[in-house]
Amino acid sequence: MPLDLASKLDTRIRIERKLVTRDPQYGTEQVTWGQFACVWAEVKDILPSKAERLADSIQIGRRPARIRIRYLAGLAADMRIIIHNRIHQIISGPATLGRREAMEIIVEEHSSVGAAP
């Protein structure tokens, strides 16, 4: 790994994967999230750092960010990232950088607030 990237990995993130189990009695699927990895990352907001839109009287805020980590085998787009107890969905990637030196993913934190009448 290039020395300059290693020095920028200053934020601890948790990567979680979806775990689907079937209830044996009712046959319904139950979705939970389990830890896949906990790694150091470089997290940078993508400018403009905050975008908002109005959908059916609900303000939806999006905060996209770019995350770089050391190469991690098994990382997939259907996982999610937890940064400082905030949930982020992977919207792009993961892309492998160099010769499996690092990976880059684009994530978004979603928040919704009801609009005042």
Q: Please report the pLDDT score of residue 73 as a whole number.
A: 93
Q: Each residue of 68-91: b (16+ CB within 10 Å) or e?
A: bbbeeeebeeebbbbbeeeebebe
Domain spanning 3-114: CATH superfamily = Bacteriophage SPP1 head-tail adaptor protein (2.40.10.270)
In the prediction, which pLDDT does 54 show?
A: 53
Q: What is the mean pLDDT of residues 27-45?
A: 92
What's the pLDDT at 87? 92
Inter-residue contact 61 to 49 (CB < 8 Å): no
Band of the pLDDT at 52, cuts 50, 70, 90?
Answer: low
What was the pLDDT predicted at 116? 43
In order of 4, 87, 97, 101, 117, the CA distances from 31 in angstroms are 39, 16, 32, 32, 35
pLDDT digits (tens, 9 = 90+) for 58-76: 455 677 899 999 999 999 9
pLDDT of residue 14: 97
d(CA 115, CA 76): 35
Is pLDDT above 70 for 91? yes
